[in-house]
């Protein structure tokens, strides 16, 4: 079994890290390059950068942030946001990213997944999925545009298609759990983990150490991503890893 990974997430807007609850009410959480270097030192296994600025200025800022960060850290990092074609991927990878995260652009143009995988390899392509339970569908629905637009797509079918098209990982965010600190959505995570053969990164809802244990054991996630609890020093990564190891979770 592969060792489980702990991944801090930096939501970057206009060159600063921000965090909200259920995708809204954003507040400042610091400088992305400084935070990235800190997480590297603390033993994070990877980092995820999500550029949530929609403007061209935000995307230009992200390229600079990626370059600066690449010089400060030794762990892999994924960059997503504003990436809608293979050329965008190339620019971000050249700036120092190890993987590319695509979400809305992949739903609008699924060929982007296969195009990216063909050019850079599946290990480079992370398909991010924002999902919320839909009572009418009696299933989880995929949302795009930062959680603003329901697509009618069923999350399980979409992750299977993403895998078939060459995605190397799924970054799965439960919109209902995001920022709540009430725990990961275990049923969603388990359903997606069982539906694909590629690693699933669980995101949304981490609030305490036991939530990570639950998502690795019950949710069957390969990695767990969190933001608020790390940014505001509520849980230290070394302490989290020590606790998980003591409970029998294979961790790096």
Structure tokens, 5: 């990974």
Catalytic entry in 40, 45, 51, 130: 130
Structure tokens, 175: 């919109």
Rg (CA), the chain: 17
Q: Pairing state of beta strands 125-134 and 169-174?
A: parallel
Known catalytic residue: 130?
A: yes
Separation CA 118–CA 223 (nearest Å): 25
Q: Are 230 and 13 in contact (CB under 8 A)?
A: no
Q: Are 192 and 170 in contact (CB under 8 A)?
A: yes
Structure tokens, 67: 């370059």
DSSP 196: -
Q: Are 104 and 142 in contact (CB under 8 A)?
A: no
Known catalytic residue: 11?
A: yes
Separation CA 21–CA 239 (nearest Å): 25
Cite the active site residues.
Answer: 11, 130
């Amino acid at each position: 079994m592969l060792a489980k990974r702990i991944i801090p997430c930096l939501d970057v807007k206009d060159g600063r890290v921000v965090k909200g609850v259920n995708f809204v009410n954003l507040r400042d959480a610091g400088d992305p390059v400084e935070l990235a270097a800190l997480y590297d030192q603390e033993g994070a296994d990877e980092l995820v950068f999500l550029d949530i600025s929609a403007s061209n200025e935000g995307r230009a800022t992200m390229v600079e942030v990626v370059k600066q960060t690449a010089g400060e850290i030794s762990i892999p990092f994924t960059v997503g946001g504003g990436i809608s074609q293979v050329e965008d991927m190339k620019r971000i990878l050249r700036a120092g990213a190890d993987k590319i995260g695509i979400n809305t652009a992949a739903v609008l143009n699924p060929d982007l997944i296969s195009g990216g995988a063909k050019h850079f390899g599946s290990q480079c392509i992370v398909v991010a999925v924002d999902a919320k339970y839909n009572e009418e569908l009696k299933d989880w629905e995929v949302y795009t545009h930062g959680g603003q637009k329901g697509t009618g797509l069923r999350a399980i079918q979409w992750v299977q298609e993403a895998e078939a098209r060459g995605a190397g990982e799924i970054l799965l965010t439960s919109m209902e759990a995001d920022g709540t600190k009430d725990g990961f959505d275990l049923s969603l995570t388990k359903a997606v983990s069982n539906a694909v053969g590629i690693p699933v990164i669980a995101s949304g809802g981490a609030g305490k150490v036991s939530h990570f244990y639950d998502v690795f054991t019950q949710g069957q996630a390969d990695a767990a991503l969190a933001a608020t609890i790390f940014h505001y020093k509520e849980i230290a990564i070394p302490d989290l890893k020590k606790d998980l190891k003591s409970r029998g979770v294979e961790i790096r």
